[in-house]
Structure 1
Amino acid sequence: MSPETEELLRELAVNAESVCRHYLPAGRREGMYWLVGDLQNHPGRSLFVRLSGPTSGTGAAGKWTDAATGEHGDLLDIIRERTGITRFPDLLTEARTHLGRPVSLQPEVSRKPESKSRGDTREAAARLFAASVPISGTLAETYLRSRGITCSVPDAVLRFHPKCWYREEGARKAVPMPAMIAAVTDAAGRIHGVHRTWLAADGGGKADVRVPKRAMGLLIGNAVRIDPALDILVIGEGIETMLSIREAAPGLPVWAGLSSFHLGAVSLPESLQRLYIARDGDPAGERAAEKLSDRATAIGIAVQLLEPRLGDFNDDLRTDGPDALRRHLAEQIGPEDRHRIGI
């Protein structure tokens, strides 16, 4: 790590509360810590950031731990997760901008890409997925059917675990609950993380807990790749949203980015020619779609936004049915791809 980067980390530590208020606004200060649900900025108390202490070493300001996942890191990790920035020089530029410092024109020595703790989390994610079972005949299948989704999903993408540990906010102990487990993979199919959706005991909906969905592992750049994608791809945030599109138009390859921040940073296939972005209507979703659209357009990929008729595409599917959703998609899909949805 260069001396300039070390100095930047020290300055971030001095301004730890400012960083937290900007990048984790759903949290709050309690004593010497900033408390928030997780790196995705959900409300809660599982993740805590130390706001005071030395600028480096044991007990340093800016160090954080997520008690629910065991992950830990520094303020640059938080900025990276919340912005979707993947290149380390760009990450430093973002940090300098937040601190009001001039942007350096000198190249930085690359930081080590992943700490041991993040590697361990990826390994834990892979073990959890390996311990899960195909969804056929499980509560995960029941849950998807309750959302109007009946299409088959590859076992390498989606599985079920009957006793996936969940720790509620403020609880000392985790409890086992049934969960739908999705693999978060890279272009080579390697698992870098998992997304967990805890389910009600009868599978008729999500579990009645404060945060029924959580991800673990390395999400930046990766996605839940439900289908192989070559020349075209449909991508959006939620798993249920993208499976709803697949239910109505199984000829369209779909991926789920899992959150607005991660959607904007997904690595796209080199062979991709046309990208359809299933946009969420909230401000964060609109910003993510714009960011991804700009990235794709800059490398020559044609981009088209897909808009649901109601709140999201799962609402459309459950309210209007797959045939009506297919017709709605056909109005937005380019003519060269309409044959893929049977229209």
Structure 2
Amino acid sequence: MIGDLDIIKSGLIDRIESVCERLLPDGKPEGGLWVAWNPVELDQKPGRLPALKVRIRGGDLGAWRCYRSGAKGDVLKLVEYVERTDIKGALAWGRDFLGIRSMSPAERQNLRKAETVRRQERDHKAERSRLFKLQTADQLFFAKPSEKETGPAYCPQGTFPFGANTAAELHAKAYFRGRGVDLDAIAGLNRLSFRFSPATEWWKGARYETAQGRRWKAERGPLFPAMHCAMRNRMGIVTACHVTFFDPVRPVKAPVTPAKLMWGEALGAVIEISMGPNAVPFWMADSDGLVPDPTVVGEGIETSASFSEPVPEARVWACGSLAGVGSAPVDLGCVEWVLFARDNNTGNPTAQKQFDTALAGLERHGKTIVVEASHVGDDFNDLAQGEE
């Protein structure tokens, strides 16, 4: 009965949220993901957050990953994993879940035709969702005052450019000074990468309701002052917006987890913190025939920014994640060689695997890659603060 694999997989994808409710009943929808504890690893411990996430809206429906164990796959692999079975067992589970086992050959054929139509509709919807995210990522970075959401977030007063000296900008700079980074002292700072908002919704805290096939935001998340950072691809297009949320009173991160969110398509895009001695943005440097610069790449803004002031001869990019580091456009002519400023994740096999993948992504371009890890704390920002 392997011949019905296509309709089983398509049927499970079409009912992915119900599949998650059955397999991962302790989970809940967050954004476009079903987030749950890992029932195989039994990873629910104090101080931890659920790390198994399944795509239920937008993108590749049914795709999942456990960010703690590294396990991942499609919807059938999810059934295999949670039910501790093989592909035959997963197909049997799917037949029972979808009621296929009791269908006649004619009914199965009709189901196959219907699933083909639904798959095409899902693909079309996923592409529309991708284009919406790309468009609204740019809008969220350059947000204008509005009573409506800009992409995922309510940003009532909009964002303001670096150098406008708004209260939000001064608040963010105070936060960075507390982390050992003086943004105003960075030579070649790319001011086009930063904008500041007096109030941006932490959209992960929004409450949604669903009825009659329609889903809407019933309650907005809390508002915090924020720094919006442009993640630009090799052509300078803003494909993702990275938002850091701050406490409204003290110059520290907002009291939410996580205090940093990204919206859009981040892979292949970077936040250029500093432009090196040429002082030309990376997406313009190739056309000017300038001498290439050493380039520092890291995950977070603070880790990467820790290099900008002491290493003015280098471009410095923050990539948002290890996967982002691996997809950074270091093949550009403005990049001479690369220093990969990695975080310290000693004893974390999943992080080590992700690091290996990121390093391989950088090395495939044939340029010299030097890896440095801070000998103090978790990352170079801890080292910059003198933390022991």
Residue type of the alignment partner of 1:133: F
SS in 1 for 2:362: helix
The size of the alignment, in residue pairs, is 270
Matches within 5 A, 1:219-230: 219-226=266-273, 227=275, 228=281, 230=292
1:256 aligns with 2:318: yes
Shift, 1:181, TM fit = 0.7
1:75 aligns with 2:61: yes
1:287 aligns with 2:279: no
* 1:8-35 deviations in Å (ceiling 9; x for gaps): 9528739969x98xxxxxxx9337x654
- Cα distance in 1 between the residues matched to 2:34 and 2:358: 18
Match of 2:255 among 186, 198, 208: 208
Match of 2:25 among 27, 30, 39: 30
Matches within 5 A, 1:55-204: 64-65=56-57, 72-75=58-61, 98=77, 115-131=127-143, 132-136=159-163, 137=165, 138=169, 139-152=171-184, 153-167=189-203, 169=205, 171=207, 172-204=219-251
* 1:207-253 deviations in Å (ceiling 9; x for gaps): 11232111000112212122345453211100011011112212221
Alpha carbons 1:231, 1:273 under 8 Å: kept: yes
SS in 2 for 1:188: coil
Alpha carbons 2:205, 2:221 under 8 Å: kept: no
Point out the more displaced range, 175-184 or 162-171: 162-171
CA 156–297 in structure 1, closer or farther in 2 if over 3 Å, else same: same
Shift, 1:285, TM fit = 4.2
Alpha carbons 1:140, 1:203 under 8 Å: kept: no
Q: Which residue of 1 aligns with 2:340?
A: 277
- Cα distance in 1 between the residues matched to 2:28 and 2:220: 22
Shift, 1:184, TM fit = 0.9
Alpha carbons 2:331, 2:365 under 8 Å: kept: no
Shift, 1:150, TM fit = 1.0
Alpha carbons 2:330, 2:338 under 8 Å: kept: no
Q: Which residue of 2 aligns with 1:296?
A: 362
TM value normalised by structure 2:
0.58
Alpha carbons 1:135, 1:141 under 8 Å: kept: no
Residue type of the alignment partner of 1:250: P
CA 202–36 in structure 1, closer or farther in 2 if over 3 Å, else same: same
Mind listing any 5+ residue stretches in structure 2 that lack a counterpart? 37-47, 68-72, 81-85, 88-122, 144-158, 208-218, 276-280, 283-291
CA 113–29 in structure 1, closer or farther in 2 if over 3 Å, else same: closer
Mind listing any 5+ residue stretches in structure 1 that lack a counterpart? 21-27, 50-62, 66-71, 83-93, 102-110, 321-343
Kindly, what percent of the aligned residue pairs are identical? 25
Q: Which residue of 2 aligns with 1:318?
A: 385
- Cα distance in 2 between the residues matched to 1:165 and 1:177: 6
- Cα distance in 2 between the residues matched to 1:244 and 1:290: 23
Shift, 1:123, TM fit = 1.9
- Cα distance in 2 between the residues matched to 1:298 and 1:180: 33
* 1:266-323 deviations in Å (ceiling 9; x for gaps): 3333324422111112234433332232233333211110111212111111117xxx
Q: Which residue of 2 aligns with 1:56?
A: none
- Cα distance in 2 between the residues matched to 1:97 and 1:270: 39
* 1:46-80 deviations in Å (ceiling 9; x for gaps): x985xxxxxxxxxxxxx624xxxxxx23336657x
Residue type of the alignment partner of 2:142: A
SS in 1 for 2:309: helix
- Cα distance in 2 between the residues matched to 1:304 and 1:40: 38
Residue type of the alignment partner of 1:245: F
Greater gyration radius: 2
CA 260–119 in structure 1, closer or farther in 2 if over 3 Å, else same: same
Matches within 5 A, 1:3-14: 10=10, 13=13
Residue type of the alignment partner of 1:220: L
